[in-house]
């Protein structure tokens, strides 16, 4: 049915978005050709450009490294579970309303089809146009409300990260005197690496600092 096809485009499963990792280390190595390309019209040679680069580098023997799994924090931390539950509640309500409105539109479409033989061409056309306008309005309203749910959720995540998660991670880094923290989703570690993963400690500290969070009410709710 036309309404189902249209409305199904509006209500979709939301991708679960994770919190942006507090510290992500990216190292890029440029070849000589790339350096020359970046120089563009500069007259300085590579060796001249390197004069501003010091020989100082991190000493591997003194480095203290850890990994943190942000996806695990998202699924296990109490405040983030609370936010996700609120988001799912709004999404469930939106799905219920879609089902209700869809049934109403199906009934109206059936009535229009039955009245084809009794209504004048002009009257039938008016009913069809009115029906199509309702479908369009439903699509627009559902889209706006779905986007509002996502926007409210992402803002709540951002606020929680800035106010609570980032300070916790920074505190753990300071207390453990860490030199480098890697995103655990991309790190590969050996079996003998002890005290490397700080995820559980961050979750415990975050739960102690804040156990719940509040989404702003999305538009249309």
Task: Let me know if residue 53 belongs to a domain.
Answer: no
Distance (Å, whole) CA 20 – CA 168 = 14
Give the mean pLDDT of 91-102.
Answer: 94
Question: pLDDT tens-digit profile of 117-147?
Answer: 888 888 889 999 999 999 999 999 999 999 9
Distance (Å, whole) CA 102 – CA 69 = 42
pLDDT, residue 42, reads 55
The closest of 59, 53, 18, 70 to 180, measured between CA atoms, is 59
Task: Let me know if residue 19 belongs to a domain.
Answer: no
Name residue, tokens 């959720």. Answer: 153
Q: Domain range holding 69?
A: 2-7+63-209
pLDDT, residue 191, reads 62
Give the mean pLDDT of 151-170.
Answer: 95
Question: pLDDT tens-digit profile of 16-58?
Answer: 333 333 323 322 333 333 334 444 555 678 888 888 887 776 6
Task: Let me know if residue 31 belongs to a domain.
Answer: no
Task: Let me know if residue 103 belongs to a domain.
Answer: yes
Task: Let me know if residue 23 belongs to a domain.
Answer: no
Task: Let me know if residue 176 belongs to a domain.
Answer: yes
- pLDDT for residue 219 is more than 50: yes
pLDDT, residue 143, reads 94
Structure tokens at 29: 């190595």
Stretch among 55-59, 103-107, 193-197, 205-209 having the lowest mean pLDDT: 55-59
The closest of 166, 153, 132 to 218, measured between CA atoms, is 153
pLDDT, residue 2, reads 44
3-state secondary structure the chain: CHHHHHHHCCCCCCCCCCCCCCCCCCCCCCCHHHHHHHHCCCCCCHHHHHHHCCCCCCCHHHCCEEEECHHHHHHHCHHHHHHHHHHHHHHHHHHHHHHHHHHHHHHHHHHHHHHHHCCCHHHHHHHHHHHHHHHHHHHHHHHHHHHHHHHHHHHHHHHHHHHHHHHHHHHHHHHHCCCEEEECCCCCCCCCCCCCECHHHHHHHHHHHCCCCCCCCCCCC
Task: Let me know if residue 178 belongs to a domain.
Answer: yes
- The total domain count for the chain is 1
The closest of 141, 148, 142 to 87, measured between CA atoms, is 148
Rg of the chain in Å (alpha carbons): 28
Task: Let me know if residue 54 belongs to a domain.
Answer: no
Count of other CB atoms within 10 angstroms of residue 70: 21
């Amino acid at each position: 049915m036309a309404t189902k096809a249209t409305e199904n485009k509006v209500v979709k499963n939301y991708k679960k978005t994770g919190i942006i990792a507090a510290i992500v280390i990216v190292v890029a190595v440029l070849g000589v050709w790339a350096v020359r390309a970046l120089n563009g019209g500069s007259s300085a040679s590579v060796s001249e450009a390197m004069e501003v680069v010091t020989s100082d580098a991190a000493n591997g023997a003194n480095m203290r490294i850890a990994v943190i799994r942000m996806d695990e924090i998202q699924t296990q931390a109490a405040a983030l579970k609370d936010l996700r539950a609120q988001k799912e509640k709004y999404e469930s309500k939106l799905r219920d309303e879609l089902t209700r409105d869809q049934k109403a539109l199906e009934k109206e479409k059936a009535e229009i089809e039955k009245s084809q033989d009794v209504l004048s061409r002009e009257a039938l056309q008016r009913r069809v146009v009115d029906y199509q306008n309702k479908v369009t309005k439903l699509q627009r309203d559902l889209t706006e409300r779905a986007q509002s749910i996502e926007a409210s959720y992402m803002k709540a995540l951002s606020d929680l990260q800035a106010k609570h998660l980032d300070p916790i991670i920074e505190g753990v880094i300071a207390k453990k005197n860490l030199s480098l923290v890697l995103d655990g989703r991309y790190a590969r570690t050996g079996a003998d690496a002890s005290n490397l993963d700080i995820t559980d400690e961050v979750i415990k500290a975050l739960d102690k600092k804040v156990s719940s969070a509040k989404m702003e009410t999305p538009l249309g709710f």
